Structure formats: C-alpha cells, structure tokens
C-alpha cells in the first residue's frame, strides 16, 4: 500500500490532483446517477480517485464539514469499471481519511447505490423530499465512525 493510498485487485485509490480533473469530469458525465455539478463547485474539496491500468476509473469528492463530521459529495465510476469493486474501495478509503461520522444523500431511485452503501455499513437516517427534483427524494445515510 502506498503511503497515502490503497491498492487492491489492480486498483489504486489515491488522493486526486488537478491533473485528474479531466478524467473525473468525463466519468461524471457518464454517470447519470452522479451529481452533475460544475467542476468549480467541487475543486475546493478533497478528491479521491481510483486508477486501473493507469487510467482514472472512479472518483469520490468529499469534505470534512466539522471536526467529527464529513460528507460524501459525489461518487462515480466509469462505465467499463463498474461492478469491479472500484466504488467499494473508494468508500473504504474515504472511511480512512474522514474523521467522525460521514453523511451522504442518495436518490431513492438509485437502488444500486443504496445497496452498495448498505453493504458498506451505512444506515438510513432520514429523507429530503424533492431534493433531486420534484418527486425524486433523497435518502440521507450515515456511516458511523469506528
């Protein structure tokens, strides 16, 4: 394992850098489920990327919102890298980096993501009606600190 990263099954998870922004933006476009915020809205926050074969395969934007509280802002995996453990590894690295409980919102019509978060120990703590669009509610989830 690299000092600031995680290596498993040929996937390297590391802190992202400005050089990754182009690939991250492309993956975000591929992921209809991911938030489609402009890069400038994220660039001040922490970025984790998963590399496979020298190419960015997934990303996770997050922030430490308080001393003992963090928030997962956006997570996406390229089409060709899905179902290969990329998102799981990104979430596990986020758990290592973040201090305290981690919160996220996920669209209630995204069962794949909800299933992933549940398998990784996240619990539902509430909903936000109409958060994504009229009629599309957010499920608020929390991963407690270890």
**pLDDT tens per residue, range 18-74:** 999 999 988 888 877 666 676 677 778 999 999 998 899 999 999 999 999 999 999
**Mean pLDDT along residues 103-126:** 94
Kindly indicate the confidence band of residue 1, based on its pLDDT and cuts at 50, 70 and 90: very low
Does residue 145 surpass a pLDDT of 80?
Answer: no
| Total-model pTM | 0.87
Task: Identify whether the C-beta of residue 109 lies closer than 8 Å to the C-beta of residue 80.
Answer: no
54 torsion bin: left (phi>0), alpha (psi -120 to 50), beta (else): left
Kindly indicate the confidence band of residue 15, based on its pLDDT and cuts at 50, 70 and 90: very high
**pLDDT tens per residue, range 72-89:** 999 999 888 888 889 999
Cβ neighbors of 111 (< 8 A, separation 6 or more) are: none
Instruction: Name the DSSP class of 101.
Output: E
Q: Output the pLDDT for position 2.
A: 43
Q: How far apart are CA 140 and CA 59, in angstroms?
A: 20
Does residue 119 surpass a pLDDT of 50?
Answer: yes
Kindly indicate the confidence band of residue 146, based on its pLDDT and cuts at 50, 70 and 90: low
**pLDDT tens per residue, range 43-57:** 789 999 999 988 999
Beta bridge partners of 52: 11, 55
pLDDT top residue among 140 and 131:
140
* CATH number for the domain running over 6-143: 3.40.630.30
Alpha carbon distance, N-terminus to C-terminus of the chain: 21
What is the percent of the chain with per-residue pLDDT over 70, rounded to a whole number? 88
């Amino acid at each position: 394992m690299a000092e600031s990263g995680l290596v498993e099954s040929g996937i390297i998870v590391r802190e992202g850098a400005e050089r990754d922004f182009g690939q991250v933006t492309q993956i975000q476009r591929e992921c209809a489920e991911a938030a489609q915020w402009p890069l400038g809205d994220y660039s001040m926050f922490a970025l984790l990327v998963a590399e496979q074969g020298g190419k960015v395969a997934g990303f996770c934007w997050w922030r430490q919102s308080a001393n003992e509280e963090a928030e997962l802002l956006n997570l996406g995996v390229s089409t060709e890298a899905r179902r290969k453990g990329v998102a799981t590894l990104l979430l596990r690295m986020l758990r290592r980096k973040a201090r305290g409980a981690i919160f996220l919102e996920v669209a209630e019509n995204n069962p794949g993501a909800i299933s992933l978060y549940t398998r990784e120990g996240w619990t539902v703590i509430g909903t936000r009606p109409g958060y994504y669009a009229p009629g599309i509610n957010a499920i608020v989830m929390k991963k407690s600190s270890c």
